[in-house]
Structure 1
Amino acid sequence: MYQSFQEIIEIEKNTGKSFWEIIRDNDCREMEITEEEAFLRMRGMYEAMQSADEAYEPNLTSTSGLVGGDGEKAANARRRGTMLCGSFLGLVMEKAIKMGESNACMKRIVAAPTAGSCGVLPAVFLSLEQDKGYSREEMVKALYVSAGIGGIIAQRASVSGAAGGCQAEIGAASAMAAGGVAFLLGGDTEAIAHAAALAMKNLLGLACDPVAGLVEVPCVKRNVIGAVNALTSADLSNAGIRSKIPPDEVFDAMRSVGRILPEDLKETGKGGLAATPTGIAFRENLKSF
């Protein structure tokens, strides 16, 4: 597992291999499998995301009653053309909510990197393939890039809301998706690293404050901001904009912020939105079930 973006940048310079190939080769070594087997394995992961998206049930609600049906509302608004963000971003928003709702309703999803942030990567990648015409092979390569970024974040910081707040879940997923999109836009490892850094900087310090301790409110809707943030960050990187703080230092800062966040804002369901009068009322009502 690679410890830094700088390490991968150096490998790219020395070997001429792209980010995704470097991560695939590492996967082959760790799993003791061939390149073909590794690629098929990652393709299977991507297709599981697609299957989860297709299996969304608009009439299904979570046991708590807090989640369900909003993905279909977003889809209807997109079809009517009433979203100011336009059709493509509308599609991304719709898919992000649908995947988050499916998770809350106990359907099969792909944790990327966690179940609570499972909507970010699929929303971005599936929408790009569907609307922008990227090939399945390109999407699998982009997923390798995202996996590599997730590995670096896990090594330098955390992908656990309980350890680092929601910056470690939605923030990490957004950074992973941003880097994958930067790759699809033709970016080299430097561009990929800065897209990930720009995405994380926007969500640095994000609290993890699940109402009633459930991965539902505000988790599902945060997948939307993570997905849209990934796209804007990739666009900035593609335009040549760079993070003034080096990418590896950004994720070191993420680790530091996670350590100093109060426990009430790290998945305990005690602070933030969970501590509002309405949040407390939801929690008390659920106790009666």
Structure 2
Amino acid sequence: MDFRNGKELLELCGQTSLSISQIMKQREMELQEITEQETDRKMAKSLDIMRVSAKEPLGNEISSIGGLIGGEAKKLDKLRAEGKSLCGATMSKAMTYSMAVLEVNASMGVIVAAPTAGSSGVLPGVLLALQEELGLSDEKVMDALYTAGAVGYLLMRNASVAGAQAGCQAEVGSASAMAAAAAVEIMGGTPEQALSAATGALSNLLGLVCDPIGGLVENPCQNRNSIGAANALLNAEQALAGIEQLIPFDEMVQVMYRVGRSLPFELRESALGGCAAAPTACGMSCMSEKR
């Protein structure tokens, strides 16, 4: 059940009449030589960690190590509870949970890197919002996590998910692609639609720079996780509607990687360019260091 690219993954799905999640689960079982129960146990643990990290900051406000973020997710949660959200329940929850996870990450809490710590809020944000709004079982969400894992594996194998290598497009962009594909499978879409949604998600965030203020994975990282979640949902909906991407998934993965490698060093997690180089940001960085 191994596959090296999106084309091979879709061929496997076609030959076996299995979903992406089923293919990925079998691949994990074969490579690790473990049972389905053990594989599911590990995935269930990841889901539990995701849920805790997405909900904890909503009840107990958390301040980050650098002091640049903390409490943003709780404010979004309050706005939705008051019926003032502009984005609707699903999108609002996805944004809230994605930002909450970054608060946990920035305070040295436990998160699931999906695919990285800096982009760890996107996938749980999308999946937990869908679970609550659609009344999905944990088993259904775990299937979606396998699908996300397949996309993440392909991005790591054929490109990069590191901001220092290819900018934030490789971190939040990849996370958004993973979440978009997962959302499509949750909604009953085909493997082709899942990869189409992932392609669109990558395309929309192409060229996104990595410019953490003060070198801390706090801001603008937190806001970009909410963008990644929103981007995933809109691309999933477009794919489910039958809107196709002109560029195949495998080609878009290569496009993303080439664009990332073309970014100047200052825009690849060096904290020397972009938002990090703004005078106000430099001042905030110095204040953070003094604290």
Q: TM-score normalised to the size of structure 2?
A: 0.96
Offset at 1:287? 3.6
In structure 2, the residue matched to 1:4 is 5
In structure 2, the residue matched to 1:20 is 21
Does the CA-based 8 Å contact 2:169-2:206 persist in structure 1? yes
Which residue among 74, 78, 87 is the counterpart of 2:76?
74
The one-letter code of the counterpart of 1:200 is: L
In structure 2, the residue matched to 1:104 is 106
Offset at 1:66? 0.8
Does the CA-based 8 Å contact 1:174-1:199 persist in structure 2? yes
Which residue among 47, 54, 63 is the counterpart of 2:65?
63
Does the CA-based 8 Å contact 2:68-2:288 persist in structure 1? no
How many angstroms apart in 1 are the aligned matches of 2:69 and 2:242? 39
Residues 208-247 of structure 1: pairs in structure 2 closer than 5 A: 208-247=210-249
The one-letter code of the counterpart of 1:152 is: L
Percent identical among aligned pairs is: 41
How many angstroms apart in 2 are the aligned matches of 1:186 and 1:86? 22
In structure 1, the residue matched to 2:139 is 137
What CA RMSD, in Å, does the superposition of the two structures yield over aligned residues?
1.2
Residues 35-74 of structure 1: pairs in structure 2 closer than 5 A: 35-56=36-57, 58-74=60-76
Residues 124-163 of structure 1: pairs in structure 2 closer than 5 A: 124-163=126-165
Does the CA-based 8 Å contact 2:101-2:111 persist in structure 1? yes
Offset at 1:185? 1.3
* SS class of match (2:287): helix
How many angstroms apart in 2 are the aligned matches of 1:224 and 1:271? 22
* SS class of match (1:77): helix
How many angstroms apart in 1 are the aligned matches of 2:232 and 2:213? 25
- Give unpaired runs (5+ residues) of structure 2: none
Q: Give the number of aligned pairs.
A: 289
In structure 2, the residue matched to 1:185 is 187
| 1:109-133, Cα deviation, whole Å (9 max, x unpaired) | 1111111111101111111111111
How many angstroms apart in 1 are the aligned matches of 2:180 and 2:115? 14
Offset at 1:54? 3.0
Does the CA-based 8 Å contact 1:71-1:94 persist in structure 2? yes
How many angstroms apart in 1 are the aligned matches of 2:68 and 2:278? 15
Does the CA-based 8 Å contact 1:212-1:269 persist in structure 2? yes
Offset at 1:93? 1.3
Q: TM-score normalised to the size of structure 1?
A: 0.97
